[in-house]
């Protein structure tokens, strides 16, 4: 009886070894974060990998996150009697001396067309309104419609065009040459090529998508319509972005915020999971829990997909590890011996224990081959 009890006791000790349960979670997290790094997603801690799975809302900053962050000339509509390239060359020459971001977009567009700017003999800028310049002997005005009106040049002939361009989320800039309204130039921050696909993929994962932007409501809503975004919070001051994220969390929702700028740092820290673009500022990266290498918003989809796959893998490992113990410990203890004569030798128990650990590790390693469906 003593020897029989001793054999069963040894078998129980071997079977009850918690190696599989100890390996179940850390092995999956290690393999999952390694696979994420291969796909351009860096998790700074394991908690963020777990939290990202339960996200209900993904909120994006607009400029530099969903858009390129570089204003570009998208349209130029000239009045009757003016040639498009001639007007663009004159306006680009006048704007070459300006430091405004919209001016750089116009100059870059002229350079892309190979236009040679004429010589500028005088230049004067009115902050917030526009510029007056003499270019190649011609009087050039560039600015808002109100600025042209103040200079005695009516912008009415192109007012309808400017309004239509503004309604589409673009910034209209008026130009006049020799006292006549010459053109309306539309400048916009173009959407990243993968932004629309990223929003659609998040919707397929059952998530709501929000946009938080400091831009005017018309521009923010135009981008939201183009991308299919559900909620828009526009004209949000940098200091209020964290409050905007807090507002999205009402109703018990879990929020992930994706941003790239210095002014996004408070929102990244406030969100349940902060996701920073690798092309963003150091302040944003330091405040984030997850970093996306490069500036592709589709990697946010990859991050969430990997988080879900990793947590599923952990559950599979835990079910196996607990199930193994629940089923085999009674057998090793001899519970079924009086009725069925069934027991478990220490040798078989050692083999089963080793096999259980191997199964857990092998199951975790399946994450190395995972491809997130976008």
Active-site option among 61, 264, 272, 289:
61
Active site residue 149: no
- Tokens 């005695």 sit on residue: 152
Residue 367: closest CA among 296, 298, 289, 308: 308
Positions marked active-site: 61
């Amino acid at each position: 009886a003593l020897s029989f009890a001793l054999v069963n006791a040894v078998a129980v000790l071997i079977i009850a070894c918690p190696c599989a349960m100890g390996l179940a979670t850390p092995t999956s997290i290690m393999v999952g974060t390694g696979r994420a790094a291969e796909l351009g997603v860096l998790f700074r801690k394991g908690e963020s990998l777990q939290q990202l799975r339960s996200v209900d809302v993904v909120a994006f900053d607009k400029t530099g996150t969903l858009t390129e962050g570089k204003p570009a000339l998208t349209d130029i509509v000239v009045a009757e009697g003016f040639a498009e390239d001639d007007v663009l060359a004159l306006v680009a020459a006048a704007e070459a001396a300006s430091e405004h971001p919209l001016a750089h977009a116009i100059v870059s567009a002229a350079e892309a067309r190979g236009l040679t700017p004429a010589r500028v003999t005088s230049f004067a800028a009115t902050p917030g309104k526009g510029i007056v310049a003499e270019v190649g002997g011609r009087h050039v005005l560039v600015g808002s419609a109100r600025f042209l009106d103040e200079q005695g040049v009516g912008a009415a002939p192109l007012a309808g065009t400017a309004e239509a361009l503004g309604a589409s989320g673009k910034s209209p800039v008026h130009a006049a040459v020799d006292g006549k309204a010459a053109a309306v130039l539309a400048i916009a921050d173009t959407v990243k090529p993968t932004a629309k696909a990223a929003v659609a993929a998040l919707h397929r994962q059952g998530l709501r998508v929000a946009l938080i932007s400091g831009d005017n409501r018309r521009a923010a809503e135009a981008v939201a319509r183009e991308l299919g975004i559900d909620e828009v919070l526009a004209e949000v001051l940098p200091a209020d972005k964290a409050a905007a994220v807090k507002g999205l969390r009402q109703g018990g929702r879990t929020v992930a915020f994706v941003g790239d700028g210095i002014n996004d740092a408070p929102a990244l820290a406030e969100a349940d999971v902060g996701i920073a673009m690798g092309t963003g500022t150091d302040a944003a990266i330091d405040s984030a829990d997850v970093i996306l290498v490069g500036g592709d918003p589709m990697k946010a989809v990859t991050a969430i997909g990997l988080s879900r796959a990793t947590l599923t893998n952990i559950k599979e490992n835990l079910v196996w590890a607990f199930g193994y113990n629940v089923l085999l410990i009674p057998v090793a203890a001899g519970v079924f011996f009086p009725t069925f004569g069934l027991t478990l030798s220490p040798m078989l128990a050692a083999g089963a224990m080793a096999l259980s650990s191997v199964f857990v590790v092998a199951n975790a390693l399946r994450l190395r081959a995972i491809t997130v469906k976008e």
